C-alpha cells in the first residue's frame, strides 16, 4: 500500500489500530498543557543524599494523564545550569511528529541550559507509557515518569476494575551520572557496578549504618526515604496497577505478597490474560495487572522488586507496603519480605516472555512475510582499549547533527554514508565464547524502504567475561510484533522460522533478548522519520548498543527550527 502523502497514511495507521474508537477520541480531543522546570535538586530517595534531575522539583516527575486522541504539550525549561537535556516520550509513536521523539542526536539538538523547548504530540492509543531523559546517560540521574492514556468515555476495555494506581520501578546509584559515564569511557574501563538500591515510586531504603563514601551523607530524616505504602485497598475490590520499569541496568521481578496478578496489558496492547505470582519486567516495558484485595484484611502486605538476571547480591530488594483500609498505612507486615525467584533462572523468564500474546479480541494481524530481514548480533569489543558494544561490528556513536535534520536536508557529511550490515557471519560466530567481531565506532543508518515489512532477529552472544546477559530492546516510533524467543543461535536456513508466532503475536515497543538466545520481531516501516532502536540498559546504549532506522524521511513535513542549531545544522532555520 503506497499512499501519496503522509496525511492519509496517518489516518490509515490510526484507523487500522483503533477502529471506531478513534472517531470518538478525535471528537472531544483535548490539549493537555504541562510546564516543566528541569533542575538538579538534592534528593535522598533511599536516604543517601544526591543531586537528582527533577521535574518541577520532583523525581520521579509527575504522571501525565490524558485520554486517547488528546494532544500533549510539554514546555520544558532547562534549568540544569551546566547540562543539556532532551526528553523522550517512551511508547508514543509520534505519528506525523517525528521531531518530538526527544532523542538528542537522532531527532533533535539537545536543549541548552537556559533554553525552553516545546514538545507537542498526539497520544493516539490508550495504554501505559513513560517518559525519560534521552541525552547521554542523563536518565540515571532521575528524570523519569509515567504517561497514562485512558480510553475515551464509552469505550470498554476487555476487563474491569475499581481503581487504578501507577507503580514506577527504578534502580539507583549513589555515584553521579558523570562518574558513571567517565568510568564507562575510561581506559581501563570501569563498570557502573550494581545499584545501591531499588526504588518503587521513587522511594527505597539504603542501610545507612554501612560505611558510606566520604563524599556522601545519609539523611534518614529526609521525607524522601523509607518505606511507603504503595496504595490502600478496600477488601473485595479489584485494582489495576500500571507498572513501568525505567531501571538503568536491572531486570526485575515484582510481586505482592500473597496476591496473584493477572496481566492484561503490555506496552499499550491488551494481552491474553494470564496469572502470575511475580511479574518479570525489563527496562522500558510497561504492564498493567489486576490485583484483587482478597487476603486477610487485618494486616498489610509487602510489595517488592528484586533483581534477576545479574548476581546483585549486595543490592537489597525494593520494598513498599500494600495497605488494607483500616490498618495504619505504615504498619509493617508481620512477615519477612519475599525474596523473589533465583536470579540465575533464565528458563522461567523466557517462559513468561512466551506467555505474552495478544488478547483474542485485539489481535493485530502481522503481515505474512517480511520484505527484509536484519540479523543483528551483539558482541562486546575492545576498540583501542575501550570496551564497546557492537551490533554487526559497529558501535553506535550519536553524531553532532541529529539524523532527522541531516537526512531530511541532505547533510551527508553529518553521518556515516556506508550502510551497516544486514547480517553477520552467522555460522562462523561462536556465541558461547567471548568472540568479538572486528569492531568500529560509527554512525551508520539502516535505510528501510517506506511501507516495507522488516524482520529483526536479535542474536545474543557472550561478553568479554564469557557471560551472556539480558538486553531489553526498545524501538522508537513503532510497535512491533514479537514473533518469538529462542535458545542458542538462530538458524535462518533450518526450522527456526517455524518456531515463530504469526497467529496472535503481541505488539510491544520493548522486548527482552534473553541470555544465550535470540528474539525475533517484525514491524511495518510506515512511520516517516528517523528512529532509534537500542538496548534500554543505559550503560549499554552509552557503549554503542543501538542502531538507527530511516524510513520515508522525504515524506516528513517541514522540520521545526527548534530542533536545529547544532553540528552541521547551524545555518538551518
Ligand atoms: C545495616 O548495616 C549494619 C552494618 O553493616 C548491620 O549491622 C545492620 O544489621 C544492617 N541493618 C539492616 C537492617 O540490614
Ligand atoms: C535532612 O532532611 C531534612 C528534611 O529534608 C532537612 O530538614 C535536614 O536539614 C536534613 N539534614 C541534613 C543534615 O542535611
Ligand atoms: C553471587 O555473588 C555472591 C557475592 O559476590 C557470591 O557469594 C555468590 O556465590 C554468587 N552466586 C552465584 C550463584 O554465583
Ligand atoms: C543458580 O545458582 C545456584 C548457586 O550457584 C545453583 O545451585 C543453581 O543450579 C543455579 N540455577 C540455575 C538455573 O542455573
Ligand atoms: C565460555 O563459556 C562457555 C559456556 O557458555 C564454555 O563452554 C566455554 O568453555 C567458555 N570459554 C572460555 C574461554 O572460558
Ligand atoms: C578481522 O580482522 C582480522 C585482522 O585484520 C582479519 O584477518 C579478519 O579477516 C577480520 N575478520 C572479519 C570477520 O572481517
Ligand atoms: Cu544491553
Distance 140 CA to ligand 3 centre (A): 26
Question: What separation in angstroms does the CA of 417 have from each of 2, 71, 260, 406?
Answer: 26, 36, 52, 11
Look over the chain and give the mean of its residue pLDDT values, rounded to a whole number: 93
Q: Is any ligand 2 atom within 6 A of the Cβ of residue 219?
A: yes
Contact 252/340 with Cβ under 8 angstroms? Answer: no
Q: Is any ligand 3 atom within 6 A of the Cβ of residue 15?
A: no
| Residue 13 pLDDT exceeds 70 | no
Contact 279/263 with Cβ under 8 angstroms? Answer: yes
Strand positions, DSSP E, 330-488: 372-383, 386-391, 394-396, 440-442, 446-448, 452-459, 471-475, 480-487
| Residue 4 pLDDT exceeds 80 | no
Q: Where are the alpha helices (DSSP H) in 2-138?
A: 6-18, 21-27
| Residue 159 pLDDT exceeds 90 | yes
Q: How far apart are CA 25 and CA 536, in angstroms?
A: 31
Which residues neighbour 19 within 8 Å (Cβ) at sequence distance 6 or greater? none
Measuring from atom 14 of ligand 3, which residue has the nearest CA?
311
Q: What atom of ligand 2 comes closest to residue 219's alpha carbon?
A: 1
Q: Strand pairing partners for 303? A: 256, 320
- Between 530 and 23, the more confident residue is 530
| Residue 9 pLDDT exceeds 80 | no
Ligand nearest to the CA of 250: 7
Distance 202 CA to ligand 1 centre (A): 22
Provide the grid cell at 423: 547480517
Distance 200 CA to ligand 2 centre (A): 22
Measuring from atom 8 of ligand 6, which residue has the nearest CA?
438
Distance 550 CA to ligand 7 centre (A): 22
Q: How far apart are CA 383 and CA 37, in angstroms?
A: 39
DSSP three-state, residue 346: helix
Pocket test for ligand 6, best of 381, 428, 430, 438 (most atoms within 8 A of CB): 438
| Residue 284 pLDDT exceeds 60 | yes
Contact 287/541 with Cβ under 8 angstroms? Answer: no
Q: How far apart are CA 77 and CA 38, in angstroms?
A: 6
Q: Is any ligand 3 atom within 6 A of the Cβ of residue 314?
A: no
Q: What is the reported pLDDT for 214?
A: 65
CA dihedral 559, 563, 564, 568 (to 10 degrees): -100
Note the pLDDT tens digit of each residue in 208-259.
Answer: 888 777 677 888 888 888 878 788 999 999 999 999 999 999 999 999 999 9
| HSE-CB of 311 using CA atoms within 13 angstroms | 3
Q: For cell 562518574, what's the residue?
A: 179
Measuring from atom 7 of ligand 6, which residue has the nearest CA?
438
Q: What atom of ligand 5 comes closest to residue 516's alpha carbon?
A: 5
Q: What is the reported pLDDT for 572?
A: 74
Note the pLDDT tens digit of each residue in 456-512.
Answer: 999 999 999 999 999 999 999 999 999 999 999 998 877 677 779 999 999 999 999
* 171 — pLDDT class (breaks 50, 70, 90): very high
Question: What separation in angstroms does the CA of 124 have from each of 11, 22, 152, 382?
Answer: 11, 8, 11, 43
Contact 144/172 with Cβ under 8 angstroms? Answer: no
Q: Strand pairing partners for 306? A: 253
| Residue 343 pLDDT exceeds 80 | yes
| Residue 346 pLDDT exceeds 60 | yes
Provide the grid cell at 96: 506525523
Which helix (H) or strand (E) segment holds residue 290: the answer is: strand 286-292
Contact 82/40 with Cβ under 8 angstroms? Answer: no
CATH number for region 365-569: 2.60.40.420
Note the pLDDT tens digit of each residue in 92-141.
Answer: 999 999 999 999 999 999 999 999 999 999 999 999 999 999 999 999 99
Q: What is the reported pLDDT for 27?
A: 59
Note the pLDDT tens digit of each residue in 31-79.
Answer: 999 999 999 999 999 999 999 999 999 999 999 999 999 999 999 999 9
Ligand nearest to the CA of 310: 3
Q: What is the reported pLDDT for 426?
A: 66
Measuring from atom 5 of ligand 6, which residue has the nearest CA?
438
* Lowest-pLDDT choice from 101-105, 513-517, 567-571: 567-571
| HSE-CB of 435 using CA atoms within 13 angstroms | 13
Domain boundaries, the chain: 365-569
Q: Is any ligand 6 atom within 6 A of the Cβ of residue 425?
A: yes
Q: What is the reported pLDDT for 326?
A: 95
Which helix (H) or strand (E) segment holds residue 153: the answer is: none
Measuring from atom 5 of ligand 2, which residue has the nearest CA?
222
* 573 — pLDDT class (breaks 50, 70, 90): low
Q: What atom of ligand 3 comes closest to residue 344's alpha carbon?
A: 13
Pocket of ligand 5 (CB under 6 A): 432-433, 462, 466
Q: Is any ligand 3 atom within 6 A of the Cβ of residue 182?
A: no
Q: What is the reported pLDDT for 464?
A: 96
Pocket of ligand 1 (CB under 6 A): 207, 209-210
CB atoms within 10 A of CB 429: 15
Note the pLDDT tens digit of each residue in 188-212.
Answer: 999 999 999 999 999 998 888 887 7
Note the pLDDT tens digit of each residue in 311-336.
Answer: 999 999 999 999 999 999 989 999 99
Measuring from atom 14 of ligand 5, which residue has the nearest CA?
466
Distance 314 CA to ligand 3 centre (A): 10
Q: Where are the alpha helices (DSSP H) in 67-188?
A: 177-185
Q: How far apart are CA 435 and CA 381, in angstroms?
A: 8
Distance 389 CA to ligand 7 centre (A): 8
CB atoms within 10 A of CB 561: 11
Spatial strand order of the sheet with 440-442 comes to 440-442, 394-396, 386-391, 372-383, 452-459, 517-525, 480-487, 507-508
State whether the Cα torsion 470-129-341-319 is positive or negative.
positive
pTM given for the model? 0.93
* Lowest-pLDDT choice from 3-7, 393-397, 406-410: 3-7
Pairing between β-strand 127-133 and β-strand 144-150 as defined by DSSP bridges: antiparallel
Distance 462 CA to ligand 5 centre (A): 9
| Residue 402 pLDDT exceeds 60 | yes
Q: Is any ligand 6 atom within 6 A of the Cβ of residue 438?
A: yes
Distance 467 CA to ligand 5 centre (A): 8
* Lowest-pLDDT choice from 4-8, 412-416, 483-487: 4-8
Ligand nearest to the CA of 421: 6
Pocket test for ligand 5, best of 429, 432, 515 (most atoms within 8 A of CB): 432
Contact 464/418 with Cβ under 8 angstroms? Answer: no
Q: Is any ligand 2 atom within 6 A of the Cβ of residue 41?
A: no
Q: What is the reported pLDDT for 6?
A: 36
Q: How far apart are CA 13 and CA 25, in angstroms?
A: 15
Ligand nearest to the CA of 218: 2
Q: Is any ligand 2 atom within 6 A of the Cβ of residue 71?
A: no
Note the pLDDT tens digit of each residue in 14-41.
Answer: 434 434 444 444 557 899 999 999 999 9
Note the pLDDT tens digit of each residue in 261-280.
Answer: 999 999 999 999 999 999 99
Pairing between β-strand 238-245 and β-strand 163-172 as defined by DSSP bridges: parallel
- Phi, psi for 403 (deg, rounded to 5): -50, -45
Q: What is the reported pLDDT for 1?
A: 30
Pairing between β-strand 452-459 and β-strand 372-383 as defined by DSSP bridges: parallel
Average pLDDT over residues 438-453: 97
Contact 286/129 with Cβ under 8 angstroms? Answer: yes
DSSP state of 58: B
Q: Is any ligand 3 atom within 6 A of the Cβ of residue 313?
A: yes
Q: What is the reported pLDDT for 466?
A: 96
Amino acid at each position: 500500500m503506497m499512499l501519496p502523502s503522509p496525511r492519509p497514511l496517518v489516518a490509515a495507521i490510526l484507523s487500522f489500530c483503533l477502529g471506531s474508537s478513534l472517531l470518538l477520541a478525535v471528537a472531544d480531543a483535548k490539549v493537555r498543557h504541562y510546564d516543566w522546570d528541569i533542575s538538579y535538586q538534592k534528593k535522598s530517595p533511599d536516604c543517601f543524599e544526591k543531586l537528582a534531575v527533577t521535574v518541577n522539583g520532583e523525581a520521579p516527575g509527575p504522571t501525565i494523564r490524558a485520554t486517547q486522541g488528546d494532544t500533549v504539550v510539554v514546555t520544558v525549561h532547562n534549568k540544569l545550569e551546566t547540562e543539556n537535556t532532551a526528553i523522550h516520550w517512551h511508547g508514543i509513536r509520534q505519528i506525523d511528529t517525528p521531531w518530538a521523539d526527544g532523542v538528542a542526536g537522532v531527532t533533535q539538538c539537545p536543549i541548552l541550559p537556559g533554553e525552553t523547548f516545546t514538545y507537542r504530540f498526539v497520544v493516539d492509543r490508550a495504554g501505559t507509557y513513560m517518559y525519560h531523559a534521552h541525552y547521554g546517560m542523563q536518565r540515571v540521574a532521575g528524570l523519569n515518569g509515567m504517561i497514562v492514556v485512558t480510553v475515551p468515555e464509552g469505550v470498554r476495555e476487555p476487563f474491569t476494575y475499581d481503581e487504578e494506581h501507577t507503580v514506577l520501578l527504578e534502580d539507583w546509584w549513589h555515584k553521579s551520572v558523570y562518574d558513571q559515564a567517565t568510568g564507562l569511557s575510561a581506559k581501563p574501563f570501569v563498570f557502573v557496578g550494581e545499584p545501591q538500591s531499588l526504588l518503587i515510586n521513587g522511594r527505597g531504603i539504603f542501610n545507612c549504618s554501612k560505611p558510606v563514601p566520604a563524599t556522601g551523607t545519609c539523611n534518614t530524616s529526609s521525607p524522601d526515604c523509607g518505606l511507603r505504602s504503595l496504595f490502600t485497598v478496600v477488601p473485595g475490590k479489584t485494582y489495576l496497577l500500571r507498572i513501568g520499569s525505567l531501571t538503568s541496568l536491572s531486570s526485575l521481578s515484582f510481586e505482592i505478597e500473597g496476591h496473584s496478578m493477572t496481566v492484561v496489558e503490555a506496552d499499550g496492547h491488551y494481552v491474553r490474560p494470564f496469572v502470575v505470582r511475580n511479574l518479570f519486567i525489563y527496562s522500558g516495558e510497561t504492564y498493567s495487572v489486576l490485583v484483587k484485595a482478597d487476603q486477610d484484611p487485618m494486616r498489610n502486605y509487602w510489595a517488592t522488586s528484586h533483581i534477576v538476571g545479574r548476581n546483585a547480591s549486595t543490592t537489597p530488594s525494593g520494598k513498599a507496603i500494600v495497605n488494607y483500609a483500616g490498618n495504619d498505612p505504615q504498619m509493617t507486615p508481620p512477615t519477612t519480605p519475599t525474596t523473589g525467584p533465583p536470579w540465575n533462572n533464565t528458563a522461567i523468564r523466557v517462559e513468561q516472555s512466551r506467555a505474552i500474546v495478544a488478547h483474542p479480541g485485539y489481535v493485530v494481524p502481522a503481515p505474512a512475510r517480511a520484505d527484509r530481514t536484519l540479523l543483528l548480533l551483539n558482541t562486546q569489543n575492545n576498540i583501542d582499549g575501550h570496551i564497546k558494544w557492537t551490533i554487526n561490528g559497529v558501535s553506535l556513536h550519536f553524531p553532532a547533527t541529529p539524523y532527522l535534520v541531516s537526512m531530511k536536508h541532505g547533510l551527508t557529511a553529518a553521518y556515516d554514508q556506508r550502510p551497516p550490515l544486514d547480517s553477520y557471519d552467522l555460522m562462523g560466530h561462536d556465541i558461547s565464547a567471548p568472540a568479538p567481531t572486528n569492531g568500529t565506532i560509527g554512525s551508520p543508518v539502516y535505510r528501510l524502504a517506506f511501507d516495507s515489512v522488516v524482520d529483526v532477529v536479535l542474536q545474543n552472544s557472550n561478553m568479554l567475561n564469557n557471560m551472556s546477559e539480558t538486553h531489553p530492546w526498545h524501538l522508537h516510533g513503532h510497535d512491533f510484533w514479537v514473533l518469538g524467543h529462542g535458545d542458542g543461535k538462530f538458524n535462518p536456513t533450518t526450522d527456526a522460522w517455524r518456531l515463530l508466532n504469526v497467529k496472535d503475536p503481541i505488539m510491544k515497543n520493548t522486548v527482552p533478548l534473553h541470555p544465550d538466545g535470540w528474539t525475533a520481531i517484525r514491524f511495518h516501516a510506515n512511520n516517516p522519520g528517523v528512529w532509534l532502536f537500542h538496548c534500554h540498559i543505559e550503560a549499554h546504549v552509552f557503549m554503542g548498543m543501538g542502531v538507527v532506522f530511516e524510513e520515508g524521511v522525504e515524506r516528513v513535513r517541514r522540520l521545526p527550527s527548534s530542533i536545529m542549531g547544532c553540528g552541521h545544522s547551524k545555518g538551518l532555520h
